[in-house]
């Protein structure tokens, strides 16, 4: 709460402002099933990788999101996106 303004606090990918890239600070693998975690790693998700929230589908905020992982655009369900914690670029 009293974090200095210079150090951005990691936020879940699903709550990141759109089109504000950041880098992956931490992935809470325990929130993901084994196949989900594996596929996510195969799609290039890793700590330090640049990610960006692009689009959210669904009226009441329930549909999958589209995000950029490195150079690839990937559609993910919300619960997966909320396990990915991102440090917004300063």
Partner 1 sequence: MNAAPLVALVGNPNAGKSALFNALTGARQKVGNYPGVTVERHAGRLALPDGRPVELLDLPGTYSLDPSSPDEAVTRDVLFGKQEGERLPDGIVVVVDATNLDNHLRFTLQLAALGLPMVVALNMVDMAERDGLVLDAEALERELGVPVVATVAVRKRGLDALKERLGEVLKAGHKLREGAGAQHDIVVLQRRARQIATAVTVSETAARRWTHRIDAIVLHPVAGPIILLALMFIMFQSVFAWAEAPMGWIEGGMAWLSDTVAGALPDGFIRDFLVQGLIAGVGAVVVFLPQILILFAFILVLEATGYMVRAAMLMDRVMASVGLSGRAFIPLLSSFACAVPGIMATRTIADEKDRLTTILIAPLMTCSARLPVYTIIIGSLIPERSLLPGIGLQGFVLFALYILGIVGAFCAALVLRHTVTKGATSGFMMEMPKYQLPRIRDVLLGLWQRAEIFLKRAGTTIAATVAILWLLTTFPQAPAGQKQSEYSVAGRIASGIEVVVKPIGFNHDISLALLPAMAAREAAVAAIGTVYAVDNPEDAQGEATITENLRKRWTLPTALAFLMWFVFAPQCISTIAVTRRETNGWKWPMFMIGYLFALAYVAAGLTYWSAVALGL
List residues near partner 1 by CB under 8 A. Answer: 33, 35-36, 38-44, 46, 49, 54-59, 62-64, 66, 70-77, 80
Smallest distance, partner 1 to C-beta of residue 88, A: 19
- Return the number of the residue (4 or 35) whose C-beta is nearest partner 1: 35
Three-state DSSP string of 9-40: CCEEHHHCCCCCCEEEEEECHHHCCHHHHHHH
- Return the number of the residue (9 or 72) whose C-beta is nearest partner 1: 72
Smallest distance, partner 1 to C-beta of residue 14, A: 14
Three-state DSSP string of 48-85: CCEEEEEEECCCCCCCCEEEEECCEEEEECHHHHCCEE
- Return the number of the residue (9 or 41) whose C-beta is nearest partner 1: 41
């Amino acid at each position: 709460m009293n974090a200095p303004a210079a150090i951005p606090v990691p936020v879940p990918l699903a709550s990141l402002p759109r089109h504000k890239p950041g880098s992956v600070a931490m992935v809470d693998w325990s929130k993901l099933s084994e196949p989900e975690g594996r596929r996510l790693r195969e799609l290039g998700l890793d700590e330090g990788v640049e990610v960006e929230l692009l689009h959210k589908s669904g009226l009441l905020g329930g549909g999958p999101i589209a995000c950029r992982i490195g150079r690839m655009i990937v559609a993910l369900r919300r619960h997966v996106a909320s396990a990915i914690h991102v440090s917004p670029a300063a």
